[in-house]
Structures are given as C-alpha cells and as structure tokens.
Structure 1
C-alpha cells in the first residue's frame, strides 16, 4: 500500500535561500536538457518516410536519452562547481523528469494519451525537487534532515502510521511557504477488505447543482468555492495589474493572489476528501460514470466544471478505495439520464427538465436520482461480469 503525507516546513532564512537556489539551478538544467532533445528532434526528423535504394544518408547524431543526459551531470559539476551544492540524486531526477515529459509528448502515457509539447520553465515555475532515497531516522523530533540543506523544522499535524517506510521525499515551494511530501509504503496491508460485501453498492451521479446524487436519494449540494471567492480573487488580480512590472510591490501582490487561489484549491480538496470518506465508510462498492472531464472543461460549462473538480474527486475516490480494500466501478455514461431506471424505456428530455417522467411505467422522480440508479445497476452488472470472468480464468 502506497500513500503520501504532506507537511509544512519552517526553514530559516539560510535554508530558504538554499531551497530557492536549488530550484533555480534545477530549472536551468531542466531547460538545457529539454533544449538538447528539441535540437535533436528538429535536426533529425523528416517528413519523407521512404527513399530510393541508392542515396546518401547523413550520419545521425546520438539521440539524447535519460542515461547519456544523466552521465553528462559529472561534466556539469566540473564546468560549474556550484552544482556540487545540490545532492547528486536530486540532480539525477531532472533528466528523468525530462524523459517522462518528452515521451508523453511523442509516445503518450501508459493509456496512449499524448500530452502537449513540453514548455521551458520560466523564473519561479520549477517548484519541486525530490530525494528518491530517504532513511526513516532522518525524520524525527519534528525535524527532517535534507541533504545539502540541513535540519528543517516540520509541523507534524499527524504521525506516520506504524509499519510504513519512507520511500521518497519531495520538497515543494507554494504560495504560502514550503512543504515536504513523504511517499510511504507498507507491503503488509491487505489489498481487499476482509468483510468486503459486493452487494453493498451505491451509484453516484455528479452534477453542477448538486455535487452528487446517490442512488439511495442522498445528495450533497455543490459548494462552488471558486464562485464564492470571485470577488476576492478579482480584487487581488486588480492589485497585481496596477503594480509596475518587476517591482517589489508587484511581487507581493502576486504572492497574495497565489495565496487566495491556494485557499480555494485547498478548501475544495478538503471537501473532496471528506466526501470520499463519508462514501467509503458506508459502502463497499462505488459505481461512477466514466466522464470525459477534459472535454467538458472546454465547453461553455468550463468554469463550473473546473469549480466542481470532478477529476480530482474521482482520483481521490479511486486511490482511497484501493487503500481501504474497496472497489470503484466505472460505467459508460451514455443514456443514464434518458433511460428509465424502472422499465428501461428511453425518455428524451432537454437538460433544463429536471424531472424524469416515464410514459410507460408512469414513474416520476428526479432526473439525477434516475441517473444514479442506472449507474448503480450498470456497476452491479459490470462487477458481476468481472467476477465471473476472473473465476473462469482460475
């Protein structure tokens, strides 16, 4: 079982300067290695996919990859001795990050989805560095020992569970200070809950008026944190635009604006965690729609969809259910609102019509509740089919 705990740290002035200097040097190296890959790509790609049998082929340069870029770090420290102030494994994480970013652009991720063209990092945009190996005894007595930085005070708001080992430590600079994220692992935690009940299932239909409506007719109103904070955000943004570019007053205004945005994001994330916990405490199986959230975020409902944060909610729900030994079933969303949950007859209705009235079975109920029941039924059918196929494979 792999989980992450994040703590706020309180470095002194010297340690803060070291962290900022490390981030800035890593940013320079990230941009340099990314430029190497772009240069090779532009010089060696060709729109022609075939040629005659007798032709001259120029000698191609070696393609930059993780290993040869990693080996170049030794020469980097010889040419620029100030890079010796960075821990070697922290510096080696930069070519790994470049490799992942570049491959996602050209090849795609594990699911085949490609990302956009990688961008160079501007000043202040490189915010995280990672120690890939960390000893547990370096985190004790409300202090954490970070190599090349020193012993930094940590605000420990919760203790690390017994049996978990610290695998990696990431240091992140945010608008309101510095944080460390500990990646914890415990192989002894069971992957399936001992009293797992596949019949204890609920379907949830996420929306913009109600954050979700469950198949048991429980619902939670959408909190709309961004909408409520719009006035404060607009005022903070106005202060930034009125300040002279490059001035200290503008930097202070930008920091205050970042803190306001972080407050909205943190409040939304806290709401998502609490909502997920209430669901997993009551049910063993959660059935949800497999929505194209990125597509919806580009529609005319983009602001409301981003304010709801469905993508973050789904990822938290999936991760927490897996850690608790429970199950999340994704079903196709097509027709869940139109199909009658009682008789299966499809009733066409516009989005503005919030009630489902079936002319065949004469049932009348909330449109979202009808969709939630359909999601639950599809999830139960999919879970049953999945268990049958796993039994046949055995």
Structure 2
C-alpha cells in the first residue's frame, strides 16, 4: 500500500539566510551559576540539579549500603535513591526546555552553537610517569570535578532539545567550530583571553569591561556568518580579517551590558 499521493503538492521550507540581525551566537559557559551566554549580551542561569542533591544522594546511598542485601530496609532505600536520581534527571530536562524556549522566543531565526566534543571533554587525563616508572600528578583529581560539572550540565541533551524546539518554531540551530572564539576580542583582532582564569578584560581604548563568555558568543556568531578572522593554526597569527565590518555592531552590544562601565582597577585606586 502506497500513501504517497502525487497530486498533493510538496511544500518545502524556505531556506533561512543568516544575517547579523536574525542570528544569535550561544556559548556554553559552565562557570559559577551561569549556563549559557548569548551574543545579545545576556547570560542564562544553570540549574546544577546533581550538585544541589549530591549530599542527600550520598547519605541515602551510604545508609542503603549498611543494610543487609535483600532486606526490606535496603529495598526501601534503593527506591528512595532511584526517586532522587529521577528528580535530578527531570529537573535537568525541565531546565533544558525552559532555556530552549527562552532563546527561541527572542525571535531570532538562526542560532550558532559550539560543536563540542563532549565525550572528549569528559575523558580522563593520561597517566604520567618519571624515569623510574613512578606515577606523577596528572591533574586528574581536579579534572574529576570538572567532568562531574560537564555531566551535570548535560549540554548534549540541551542542544538536542534546543534543536527540536527551534525547528518547531521555524528556526535553525547550526553547530560551528569554536576554535579561538573564547580568546579573541570580538571588536578588535587581539588575543586577550589567553587563560581560562581571565574572565573579563578592561579595554583601555573603548573604556569598557569585556566579558569572556559574551565575547565568545559574539565570536561564534561571527564564525557562523563567516566574519571571523582566518587564523593560521601553526603560528597562531591572523591571516585574514573582517573584524572592522562588524566592530560597530559588536561594540553596541558590549556597551549596553550594565557591568561594562564598572570602574577599572586603576580608577578604583
């Protein structure tokens, strides 16, 4: 049986051509209480459902492990532990839907997000040994906490939900290469965020603070619009740049952020 009727016209969706006005860049933050940053100068909060419940979950698990296997008390605590895991998963999914809807309601039609290797980000560090074969510190202890944060954020689930919600609203989510987007100033070809500890930068020329995450989201938008500088991977030098073509629009975004005009360190002294 064939359900295809050739007499029914096939309607194809109009291709959305991204522009500066109808697009938005979105950066995955994972810093303090921030979850996402967008190229409109806004930050969206995180839920941290596992982090908020890990103490309660650990207590339930410890109590369960003290009970005899197969006992009624152990089964009761196992059910309680499962319910807590279910609450965490549901809170995380609910947060993802709320964030997706809030972004789609911005009336933008194209959303540029990072093409993240989430599995690689959660990968264990390689072991290090000295010449005698003794193990050396490899930073895995600190990495374990970061891995837990990546898992708790569940960006993979969020981007899947976001793509689904955006498609229903007639928008599109495009993944772009995030290389150098978190290091370069969006309005000037200058590498300033060279370390993860640098969260903001005082621009002495424009007299404004530039937030690292907002800067990255704007750069992701520039990558999607093919306006990001071409950078030589080996030398790290900029080969070709179109930064001046969007500098005015970028500065307009940066200057309307309330924290942009906070006093610089020199002025505070």
User: TM-score, normalised to structure 2's length?
Assistant: 0.65
Aligned to 1:201: 23
- After superposition, residues 75-94 of structure 1 pair within 5 angstroms as none
Aligned to 2:80: 256
Q: 1:253 to 1:325 in 2, by over 3 A?
A: same
Contact 1:288/1:330 (8 A) holds in 2:
yes
SS of the residue 1:350 aligns to = coil
Distance 2:11 2:58 in 1: 48
Q: 1:218 to 1:204 in 2, by over 3 A?
A: same
Deviation at 1:325, TM superposition (A): 2.5
Contact 2:27/2:114 (8 A) holds in 1:
yes
Give the aligned CA root-mean-square deviation in angstroms: 2.6
Aligned to 1:391: none
Aligned to 2:150: 305
Corresponding residue pairs, total: 195
- After superposition, residues 287-326 of structure 1 pair within 5 angstroms as 287-298=112-123, 300=143, 301-326=146-171
Distance 1:366 1:325 in 2: 31
The unaligned stretches of length 5 or more in structure 2 are: 1-8, 125-142, 228-269
- After superposition, residues 220-369 of structure 1 pair within 5 angstroms as 220-282=44-106, 283-298=108-123, 300=143, 301-357=146-202, 364-369=209-214
Contact 1:355/1:364 (8 A) holds in 2:
yes
Distance 1:238 1:192 in 2: 55
Q: Deviations over 1:122-178 (max 9, x none)?
A: xxxxxxxxxxxxxxxxxxxxxxxxxxxxxxxxxxxxxxxxxxxxxxxxxxxxxxxxx
Deviation at 1:191, TM superposition (A): 6.5
Aligned to 2:233: none
The unaligned stretches of length 5 or more in structure 1 are: 1-187, 383-394
Contact 1:342/1:361 (8 A) holds in 2:
no
Deviation at 1:190, TM superposition (A): 6.8
Deviation at 1:360, TM superposition (A): 8.0
SS of the residue 2:170 aligns to = coil
Deviation at 1:362, TM superposition (A): 7.1
Deviates more, 1:364-373 or 1:315-324: 315-324
Distance 2:168 2:51 in 1: 33
- After superposition, residues 24-103 of structure 1 pair within 5 angstroms as none
Distance 1:190 1:247 in 2: 61
Contact 1:202/1:376 (8 A) holds in 2:
yes
Deviation at 1:345, TM superposition (A): 2.3
Q: 1:206 to 1:363 in 2, by over 3 A?
A: same
Distance 2:14 2:67 in 1: 56
Deviation at 1:361, TM superposition (A): 7.2
User: TM-score, normalised to structure 1's length?
Assistant: 0.46
SS of the residue 1:206 aligns to = strand
**Greater gyration radius:** 1
Q: Deviations over 1:329-367 (max 9, x none)?
A: 111111111111012222352211101346887764001
Deviation at 1:322, TM superposition (A): 2.4
Aligned to 2:218: 373
Deviation at 1:202, TM superposition (A): 0.8
